[in-house]
Structure 1
């Protein structure tokens, strides 16, 4: 018998307000994990909140862990590399448009 899983997110993280902050309790992650990620420098935590852009990072990191079984430090490295690749791809697109 096949099993299916449904994952629900409590926040819609839009690009409209990059300066917005999200409550940690609404992310559905264990506080110890978020604290460890803050110590690694992956997320910034202030007064029980993280910036929206960091909430997106947390969701990507959780997907890496769940889908690929990567440990926390490994997922953090992969996340950093993916963000660097995205930045470089954006730079390439800018250069192509400015030809």
Structure 2
């Protein structure tokens, strides 16, 4: 390794960054057919719908794709199972945020926070 060569590269992306289907597949290391199947089952959604060639995806869709890949690899879940599992995980995350919010509100009301 050269003296000043970086060990790894980090790409900073804007929160509004979108990816074409091709870019999305490259970043997720998946085939377009898999992405199309995930979209058809509601696992991920393109930002720009319409013809498949016009689809674009955002960072949350990329994060969801990676989560779906981990579930599929670790638990051998099929695509319909991925859709249900990810929806349930989203529900759990939302409920945890709500519990945290309510706990903060309770602490404020009782003078503990």
Q: C-alpha deviations, 1:28-54, integer Å up to 9, x for none? A: 111011011111222222334311001
Contact 1:20-1:52 within 8 A present in 2 as well: yes
Separation in structure 2 between the aligned mates of residue 94 and residue 28 of structure 1, nearest angstrom? 37
State the Cα RMSD in Å: 2.2
1:13 Cα deviation from its structure 2 partner:
8.2
Distance 1:29 1:12 in 2: 20
| Unaligned stretches of 5+ residues in structure 2 | 1-9, 49-53, 107-113
Q: Higher Cα Rg: structure 1 or 2?
A: 2
Compared CA separation, residues 61 and 82, structure 1 to 2 (3 A): same
Q: Is the 8 A contact 2:39 2:45 kept in 1?
A: yes
Give structure 1 regions of 4+ aligned residues with deviation exceeding 3 angstroms.
11-14
Tell me how far 1:84 sits from its aligned partner.
Answer: 0.5
Decide which of 53, 66, 69 is 1:59's aligned counterpart: 66
Extract unaligned runs of 5+ from structure 1.
Answer: 1-10
Report how many aligned residue pairs link the two structures: 87
